[in-house]
């Protein structure tokens, strides 16, 4: 072990300690952790109840750290078991819950936007289609001025929708590559969606164009973009790696592992599986492996 003077000359010293607690201290710590866990679960339940009530009644009630602190004070007055513990870690649990909820809300807002530019312009496109249908010339006849104008307006509307989709995808891709150094993208082709009931929404979301914009933006800013093979990303468990044997319909949004019993939202479980693919055996990276990751701009 280096002396402090040697550590100062070398730059920095690192010491490793191992804390051994007695059985009495261990019992006290476990009891304190139980109280903190109970407070966290109560914060989650109260936040969900307020959210459901706001959705059903249209109210705008809040459940922030200030309200939760007041509830904690009332709970400590009524519950002797909770009053036996220190108020400092219990209040810290409430502050940690507030930060975690704020981060979760931010992640939800920053998901891939689905502005539905095509749906908003559907009324105008339908109007132009009807104008063209009424003025459609017979075979061998010249087109009328109204037909040509409706055709021009229709083409301009489709071009505007395409530009809006590209601009939305580029803005989202720029924000993603600014906030992250390494990104895993599911490398799937959305062609099969054209034969499903989601064809119109999938086309309006411009999934392929958005993925292409993300890859180009990541290459431009020097980020590590990994294309993960889409096989079994929704069937593998992110906790234990086991693969589900039964089929998972799209209506089933909660993933439950039959091996380890882990339960999580299906999209979140798939995201964790894809994140494990940042350094897989067969992943295709858009940048040579081993290159240094620059800090986010």
Look at residue 167 and tell me if it is in a domain: no
Which residue, 243, 230, 204, 220, is CA-closest to 297? 220
Domain range enclosing 45 = 21-109
Give yes or no for residue 154 having a pLDDT over 70.
yes
Residue of 182, 179, 161, 169 lying closest to 211 (CA atoms): 169
Question: What local confidence, expressed as pLDDT, does residue 11 receive?
Answer: 59
Domain membership of residue 180 (yes or no) is: no
Give the pLDDT confidence score for residue 15 in this predicted structure: 75
Instruction: Give the model's pLDDT for residue 39.
Output: 93
Concatenating the DSSP letter of every residue in 64-110 gives -HHHHHHHHHHHHHH-HHHHTS-HHHHHHHHHHHHHHHHHHHHHHHT
More confident residue, 198 or 12: 198
Residues with Cβ within 8 Å of residue 255, at least 6 apart in sequence: 234, 237, 244, 248, 262, 263, 264, 265, 266, 269, 270
d(CA 72, CA 135): 71
Distance, CA of 200 to CA of 118 (rounded, Å): 9
pLDDT of residue 37: 93
pLDDT over 70 (residue 50): yes
pLDDT of res. 77:
92
The 10s digit of each residue's pLDDT in 54-107 is: 888 888 888 888 889 999 999 999 999 999 999 999 999 999 998 888 877 776
Last residue of a domain, one of 74, 109, 144: 109
In a domain, 193, yes or no: no
Domain contains 256: yes
Specify the pairing of strand 224-228 against strand 182-186: parallel
| Beta carbons within 8 Å of 251's beta carbon, 6+ residues apart | none
Instruction: Confirm whether 242 is domain-assigned.
Output: yes
pLDDT per residue over 187-245, tens digit each? 777 777 777 777 777 777 778 888 888 888 988 888 888 888 888 888 888 888 888 88
98-144 residue pLDDT tens? 888 887 777 666 665 667 788 888 889 999 999 999 998 888 888 89
242-270 as b/e: b if 16+ CB within 10 A: eebeeeeeeeeeebebeeeeeebeeeebb
Q: What predicted TM-score, i.e. pTM, was given to this entire model?
A: 0.53
Mean pLDDT throughout 1-5? 49
pLDDT of the residue at 178:
87
pLDDT beyond 50 at 1: no
Residue after which a domain boundary falls, among 77, 109, 141: 109
What's the confidence (pLDDT) of residue 284?
46
Task: Decide if 280 contacts 228 (C-beta within 8 A).
Answer: yes
Q: Is residue 75 part of a domain?
A: yes
pLDDT at 296: 39
Spell out where 69-149 has E strands. Answer: none
- Is 173 a domain residue? no
Tally the domains of the chain: 2
Is a pLDDT exceeding 50 seen at residue 294? Answer: no
What is the reported pLDDT for 155?
93
Give residue 269's Cα distance to chain centre. Answer: 11
Distance of CA 113 to the CA centre of its chain: 11
Which parts of 195-284 fold into alpha helices (H)? 199-205, 207-220, 266-275
Q: Which of 91, 109, 127 is the last residue of a domain?
A: 109
Residue 185: both structure tokens together: 């993208």
Q: How confident is the model at residue 283 (pLDDT cuts 50, 70, 90)?
A: very low
Cβ count near 116 (within 10 Å): 14
Do the domain assignments include residue 68?
yes
For residues 150-165, average pLDDT = 91
pLDDT of 10 over the 60 cut:
no
């Amino acid at each position: 072990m280096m002396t402090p003077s040697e550590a100062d000359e070398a730059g920095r010293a690192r010491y490793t300690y191992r804390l051994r607690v007695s059985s009495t201290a261990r019992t006290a710590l476990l009891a304190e952790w139980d109280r903190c866990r109970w407070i966290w679960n109560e914060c989650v339940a109260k936040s969900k109840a307020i959210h459901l009530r706001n959705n059903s009644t249209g109210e705008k009630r809040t459940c922030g750290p200030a309200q939760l602190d007041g509830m904690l004070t009332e709970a400590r007055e009524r519950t002797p078991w909770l009053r036996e513990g220190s108020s400092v870690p219990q209040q810290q649990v409430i502050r940690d819950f507030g930060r975690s909820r704020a981060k979760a809300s931010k992640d939800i807002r920053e998901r891939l936007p689905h502005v539905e530019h095509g749906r908003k312009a559907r009324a105008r496109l339908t109007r132009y289609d009807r104008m063209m249908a009424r003025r459609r010339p017979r075979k061998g006849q010249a087109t009328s001025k109204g037909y040509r104008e409706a055709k021009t307006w229709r083409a301009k509307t489709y071009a505007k929708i395409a530009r809006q989709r590209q601009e939305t995808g580029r803005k989202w891709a720029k924000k993603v590559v600014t906030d992250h150094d390494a990104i895993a993208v599911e490398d799937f082709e959305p062609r099969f969606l054209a034969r499903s009931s989601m064809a119109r929404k999938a086309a309006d979301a411009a999934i392929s164009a958005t993925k292409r914009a993300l890859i180009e933006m990541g290459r431009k800013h020097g980020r590590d973009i990994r294309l993960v093979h889409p096989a079994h990303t929704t069937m593998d468990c992110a906790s234990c790696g086991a693969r589900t044997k039964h089929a998972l319909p799209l209506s089933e949004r909660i993933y439950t592992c039959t091996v380890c019993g882990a339960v999580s939202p299906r999209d979140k479980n798939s995201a964790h599986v894809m994140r494990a693919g940042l350094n897989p055996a067969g992943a295709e990276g858009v940048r040579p492996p081993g290159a240094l990751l620059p800090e986010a701009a």
